[in-house]
Amino acid sequence: MDVPALQVDGVTKKYEKHLAVDNISFEVERGVLFGMLGPNGAGKTSTIRMITGITLPDSGKIFLNGKRVDGSLTPGIGYLPEERGLYRKMTVGEHLMYLIRLRGFSRSEGKKMVDDWVERFEIGSWWKKKIEELSKGMQQKVQFIAAVMHNPDLMILDEPFSGLDPVNSNLIREEIRRLSSLGKGVILSTHRMEQVEELCEKIVLINRGRIVLTGNLDEIKESYWQNEFLVDFENSDQQPDWNGLEEVERDHKGRWKVRLKEGQRTGDMLNGLINSGREIIHFEKSLPSLNDIFIKVTGEDLIREE
Amino acid sequence: MRKVGIIAGREYFSRVKKPQFILLTLGAPLLFGLFILIVGLIFSYTGSEEKRILVFDPSDILEQRFEPSASIVAEFREGSRRELLDLKAEEGFDGVLLVPEVEDPQVDEVTLRYISDQRLNIDLDQRFSSYFNSRLRDWKIKRLGLDEMLLDGLNTRVRISSSTDLVAAASEDDDTDAGSSIAPYVAGGIGLVIAMLIYFMVFINGTMIMRSVMEEKVNRIVEIMISTVRPFDLMMGKLLGVGAVGVTQILIWLIFIPLVYFGIIALFGSSMDMSGTGMSAEDAPEVDAGTLAMVMRELAGFNWLLISVSFIFYYLGGFFLYSSLFGALGAMMGDDLGENNSLSLVVTIPIILAIYIGIVAVQSPNSTLAVWSSMFPLFSPIVMPCRLAFEPPLWQVGVSFLALIAFTLLIVWFSGKIYRVGILMYGKKASVKELIKWLRTN
């Protein structure tokens, strides 16, 4: 086993009286898309700022490719901040070339790397446009390129889909998958759980500076599964009727979510429902959503209003 | 170092490539001249409104003529005070001037009486009395039967010819007219213009740096760069880039202004008169063709190499000193503009003080205030150029140079520390306690 792209080991950061990050530990492996999830203000950005070397942890250690982050430069990181990290007065081309040269590439080397991404995203026609003339979504694409174009080992993407329309969201999503499959470490930081559920294999769930949950997403969901299934019938308005069911409710699509009583078997339930004369058109195991799990663990709602 | 170069290059070319740059650089001296001209016009402004007045002059001192200003139209009438006032009301005069009867040509005090609905303004008041004084003098000369030619012979024009070249002055036959009486004015003018230019450039470029640091902080671009560039390099790159923009401007001026100057001379010769400047002959009686030639000769006599080199040196010193402070300020600021303005006062006040001291230094270049201020690093970039044309002792220039270099290095180092932490902080402003903490950390 080679060293993980990133190891965070017992890291704590305090701002004045406010404990922003409290003894957090996790690992990001190469080629495994990693999701960092938590409500706004949970400590995600504070953690990222320590990983990128912008601030130093009060205690704990961070290792990048097995090398300790100690306040010196960390060129192996590509960081996409949540806000627009762009020079508004520069043109797209100037901006990308400036950043790639600052990362130590020569003009000609850098031009090749930038061109590769400009072609991939089909934004060649923007090359001479000023960044302030671009829409929010277009700017986000430029910023994404700026974060990943130098081929870093670890990419940290803070809310990469904000401001993007569905087409561009898909484009970026596919790129994130591709970069991860190339064996890069990728952290997707967001408060949108559906993005993490869709993309990530491993997650860390943070709330109020602490880790609430961490591990493989499927395993976590499996472990919080409570004998629940989704069923749908031909004539769905009528509630399913079988004495082995504990709780029955209807979801937003009109399907029935049922919970099996302790000790009952799935086959018995199906038999029972069929015998009650109903035509079953849909049946699946219902794993809890990350939000359900979050509420269960913390007693708070992940998507709480700010 | 390579990265500092890349950053400086961006800062430099993004400014110099703009079309406004060349326009502003070439336009600045013109604007500057226009500014001085307008200030001159404002100061020489007198109400141009015409006034018609009645004059009663029983002793005929004025000989039916009263012209203290072009805006005064006088009519001479006889009569009692009552009759004159009635006449004023009837014919719509603005005022009545009563000259007392004077018998004794040796009189040493005379009071003119002016009756009107409106008081005379300060300017007219002075013009009336000085005009009357000279007319009374002519009347006395006539009454006393004095010879005017003899009287004129009593007046002597005295000039001071100052020389700072002690060796040459020691030889008896030193008649090289090293400094005419106009020398201090020319020297002061050059000093003040250079000091003003440095002042404006330090101020404008400094605040430009402050704003660009603030922008980088607020839009978080600095967080992207920080993993590849040291904060200190970032700041140095910015200082060097913008500093080079200023040097480019100075070089353009040093080439452009003499070209224009000689161009004008070639076009118009030395027979230029001041009629175009808006000053009436009365206000600037000393400026004639001869004086202008003297100014030209003075200008040619200055040590232009020293002045040019010092111009660039003091600009750079002042720029690095103040801009690094402005940069540190920018790094400490949030996006609250009001608060930022009051914060930047801390840095702005010494520059403004410096320009005031500079104005005083031009008038008395060797006063204690001028000498010490021209060696004190916060003021020297502006005060020393004011003194330079007066050829201050070289040791003072040397001390001033060295003190400025040393102090600037210290401030750049200090600002770098504040910048490093400040630029990465967000969400809250820095307190004094925190600043001290930052300075202590590594």
- Beta strand residue intervals within B247-359, DSSP E: none
Does the beta carbon of A127 lie under 8 angstroms from any beta carbon of chain B? no
Quick one: B225 and B342 in the same domain?
yes
Let me know whether B81 and B16 are in one domain. no
Which residue of chain A is at minimal alpha-carbon distance from B10?
A98
Q: Are residues B260 and B384 in the same domain?
A: yes
In a domain, B427, yes or no: yes
Query: Distance between CA atoms of B394 and B378, rounded to whole angstroms?
Result: 20
User: Between B279 and A187, where is the model more confident?
Assistant: A187
Residue B176: inside a domain: no
Count the neighbouring beta carbons within 10 Å of the beta carbon of residue A252: 5
Placement of tokens 């002061």 in the chain: B188
Q: Is A282 on the interface with B (CB under 8 A)?
A: no
Distance CA B390, CA B392 (A): 6
Question: Residue B257: pLDDT above 80?
Answer: no
The answer to whether B227 contacts A77, with C-beta atoms less than 8 Å apart, is yes
- pLDDT for residue A251: 80
Q: What is the pLDDT of residue A25?
A: 93
Compute the distance between CA of residue B368 and CA of residue B358 in angstroms, rounded to an integer.
Answer: 13
Taking CB atoms and an 8 Å cutoff, what residues of chain B touch A54?
223, 226-227, 424
Cβ atoms of residues A264 and A273 within 8 Å: no
Beta bridge partners, A157, equal: A80, A188
Q: Do A79 and B224 touch (CB under 8 A)?
A: yes
Measured in angstroms, the CA of A302 and the nearest CA of chain B are apart by 23
Q: What chain B residue is nearest to A80 in terms of C-alpha separation?
A: B224
Give tens-digit pLDDT for B163-199. 666 666 666 554 544 445 677 777 788 888 888 888 9
Q: Is the pLDDT of residue B49 over 80?
A: no
CA distance B408 to chain A (A): 26
pLDDT at A11: 92
Domains and CATH numbers, chain A: 6-219 (3.40.50.300), 226-286 (3.30.70)
- A66–B contact, CB cutoff 8 A: no
Please list every residue in chain B whose beta carbon sits closer than 8 Å to the beta carbon of residue A55: 424
| Least confident window among A176-180, B340-344, B416-420, B430-434 | B430-434
CA distances from B393 to A43, B117, B186, B305 (A): 63, 59, 19, 17
Q: Which of A42-46, A56-60, A111-115, B135-139 has the highest mean pLDDT?
A: A111-115
d(CA B253, CA B26): 7
Q: Are residues B6 and B56 in the same domain?
A: no
Q: What one-letter code names the amino acid at B43?
A: F
Instruction: Tell me the residue type at B337.
Output: L
In chain B, what residues touch A99 (CB-CB under 8 Å)? 224-225
B33 domain-assigned: yes
Check residue B442 and give its pLDDT: 47
Find the closest chain B residue to A53 by CA distance: B227
Please state, rounded to an integer, the average pLDDT across all residues of chain B: 80
Domain boundary among the residues B134, B154, B174 is at B154
- Asked if B143 has any chain A CB less than 8 Å from its own CB, the reply is no
pLDDT one-digit tens code per residue, A123-154: 889 899 999 999 888 899 999 999 999 999 99
Average pLDDT rounded to a whole number, residues B428-439 = 59
Biggest distance spanned by C-alpha atoms of chain A? 74
Per the prediction, chain A carries an average pLDDT of 87
Q: Which of residues 197-226 of B touch A (CB under 8 A)?
A: 219-221, 223-226
| B320 lies in the same domain as B223 | yes
Higher pLDDT, A179 or A89: A179
Q: What average pLDDT does the segment A192-210 reach? A: 90
Residue among B10, B219, B229 whose CB faces A85 most closely: B219
- The residue type at B250: I
- ipTM at complex level: 0.77
Evaluate whether B180 touches B159 at the Cβ level (below 8 Å): yes
Residue A230 near residue A257 (C-beta atoms within 8 A): yes
**A61-87 average pLDDT score:** 84
**Per 3-state DSSP, what percentage of chain A is helix, strand, and coil (rounded to 5)?**
35, 30, 40
For residue B364, report the phi and psi dihedrals to the nearest 5 degrees: -135, 85
The answer to whether residue A210 neighbours chain B at the CB level (below 8 Å) is no
Which ranges constitute the DSSP H helices of B145-220? 148-154, 166-170, 183-218
Listed range (A109-118, A221-230, B93-102, B418-427) with the worst mean pLDDT: B418-427
How many Cα neighbours within 13 Å face the side chain of A10? 3
Longest dimension (CA), chain B: 96
Residue of chain B nearest A75, judged by CA positions:
B228
DSSP of B211-252, one letter per residue?
Answer: HHHHHHHHTTHHHHHTTTS-HHHHHHHHHHHHHHHHHHHHHH
Question: In angstroms, what separates the C-alpha of A78 from chain B's closest C-alpha?
Answer: 8
Provide, as residue numbers in chain B, all residues whose Cβ is less than 8 Å from the Cβ of A45: none
The shortest CB-CB distance from B227 to any of A52, A87, A88 is to: A52
Residue B242 has pLDDT above 80, yes or no: yes
Rg (CA), chain A: 23
**B299: three-class secondary structure by DSSP:** helix
Chain B residue with CA closest to A48: the answer is B223
Residue partners of B358: CB distance under 8 A and separation at least 6? B191, B192, B195, B199, B382, B383, B385, B386
- Residue A182: what pLDDT? 92
B223–A49: do the CB atoms touch at under 8 Å?
Answer: yes
Overall number of domains in chain B: 2
Q: Which residue in A has a C-alpha nearest to residue B234's C-alpha?
A: A102
- All residues at 6 or more sequence positions from A73 whose CB lies less than 8 Å from its CB, including other chains: A53, B227, B228, B229, B230
**Model confidence pLDDT, tens digit, residues B309-341:** 888 899 999 999 999 999 888 888 766 666 667
Asked if residue A206 lies in contact with residue A42, where contact means CB atoms within 8 angstroms, the answer is: yes
- Shared domain check, B384 and B297: yes
Q: What average pLDDT score do residues B232-241 get?
A: 90
Domain span holding position B195: 2-37+182-440
Under 8 Å between Cβ of A40 and A190: no
Give the model's pLDDT for residue B276: 41
Residue B287: the pLDDT is 47
- Please indicate, yes or no, whether residues B123 and B265 belong to a single structural domain of this protein: no
For the domain that residue B131 is a member of, what is the CATH number? 3.40.190.10
In the predicted model, is pLDDT for residue B286 greater than 50? no
In the prediction, which pLDDT does B166 show? 67
Q: Collect all residues of chain B within an 8 Å Cβ-Cβ radius of residue A73.
A: 227-230
pLDDT tier for residue B274 given thresholds of 50, 70 and 90: very low
Calpha distance A51→A29 (Å, rounded): 15
A15 pLDDT band, cuts 50/70/90, is confident
Q: Residue-wise over A165-184: b if at least 16 C-beta within 10 A, else e?
A: eeebbebbbebbeebbeeeb
Do residues B261 and B295 share a domain? yes
Distance CA B78, CA B247 (A): 71
The tokens for B80 are: 């009692």
In this structure, are B431 and B316 located in the same domain?
A: yes
Burial class (CB in 10 A: 0-12, 13-18, 19+), B11: buried
Computed on alpha carbons and rounded to an integer, the radius of gyration of chain B in Å comes to 31
pLDDT in tens, A151-166: 999 999 999 998 889 9
Establish if B14 touches chain A: CB-CB under 8 angstroms: yes
By residue count, chain A amounts to 306
The lowest-confidence range among A189-203, A269-283, B72-86, B424-438 is: B424-438
Residue B401 lies in a domain: yes
Amino acid found at B280: S
Task: Give residue A278's pLDDT band: very low, low, confident or very high (50, 70, 90).
Answer: confident
> To the nearest whole angstrom, how far is the Cα of B219 from the nearest Cα of chain A?
5
pLDDT of residue A109: 93
User: What pLDDT score does B337 carry?
Assistant: 63
| pLDDT given at position B319 | 92
Q: What distance in Å separates the CA atoms of residue B235 and residue B412, rounded to the nearest whole number? A: 9
Which A-chain residues 141-160 have CB contacts (< 8 A) with chain B?
146-147
Same domain, B26 and B59: no
Q: Token digits for B297?
A: 């000769």
Domain termination site, one of B116, B136, B154: B154
A147 vs B contacts (CB less than 8 Å): 224
Is B424 in contact with A53 (Cβ distance < 8 A)?
no
Q: Which residues of B touch A89 (CB under 8 A)?
A: 14
Contact B228 A79 (CB under 8 A): no
The whole-number average pLDDT for the span A252-274 is 83
8 A C-beta contact, residue B53 and residue B73? yes
Average pLDDT over residues B337-366: 83
In 3-state terms chain B splits into helix, strand, coil percentages (rounded to 5) of 65, 5, 30
Whole-number Å distance between alpha carbons of A17 and A45: 18
Res. B439: pLDDT tops 70:
no
Pair B357, B428 in one domain: yes
Q: Do A55 and B424 touch (CB under 8 A)?
A: yes
**Percent with pLDDT over 90 in chain A:** 40
For strands B95-98 and B113-116, give the pairing.
antiparallel
Q: How many residues does chain B have?
A: 442
Q: Do A88 and B7 touch (CB under 8 A)?
A: no
> Which among B220, B228, B229 has the least Cβ separation from residue A81?
B220
Render A94-108 in DSSP notation, one character per residue. HHHHHHHHHTT--HH
Residue B6: which of A53, A82, A101 has the nearest Cβ? A101
Q: Which chain A residues are closer than 8 Å to B433 by Cβ?
A: none
A61 touches chain B (CB under 8 A): no
In angstroms, the CA A260 to CA A266 distance is 8
Which string of b and e fits B142-156 if b means at least 16 CB within 10 Å? eeeeeeeeeeeeeee
CB A232 within 8 A of CB A46: no
Nearest CB neighbour to A85, from listed B3, B221, B428: B221
Task: Tell me: pLDDT of B285 over 50.
Answer: no
- State how far the alpha carbon of B34 is from the alpha carbons of B40, B278, B285, in Å: 10, 12, 22
Among B109, B138, B154, residue at a domain's last position: B154
Q: What average pLDDT does range A32-50 have in this prediction?
A: 89
Chain A, nearest residue to B5 by Cα: A102
Query: B42 lies in a domain?
Result: no
Residue B18 pLDDT grade (very low, low, confident, very high; cuts 50, 70, 90): confident
Chain A contact present for B155, CB below 8 A: no
Among A142, A5, A123, CA closest to A65: A5
Q: Which among A79, A84, A87 is the nearest to B227, CB-wise? A: A79
- Section B141-151 average pLDDT: 85
Considering only CB atoms, which chain A residues are within 8 Å of B14? 89-90
Closest CA to B86 of B52, B57, B50, B54: B54
Closest Cα partner for A43 from A74, A17, A12? A12
pLDDT of residue A108: 93
Q: Is residue B173 part of a domain?
A: no
Interchain pair B219, A99: CB under 8 A: no
Higher pLDDT, A10 or B219: A10
Contact B110, B130 (CB under 8 A): no
Residues B25 and B89 in one domain: no
Q: Quick check: is B166 in a domain? A: no
Whether B423 is covered by a domain: the verdict is yes
In whole angstroms, give the CA distance from residue B262 to residue B62: 49
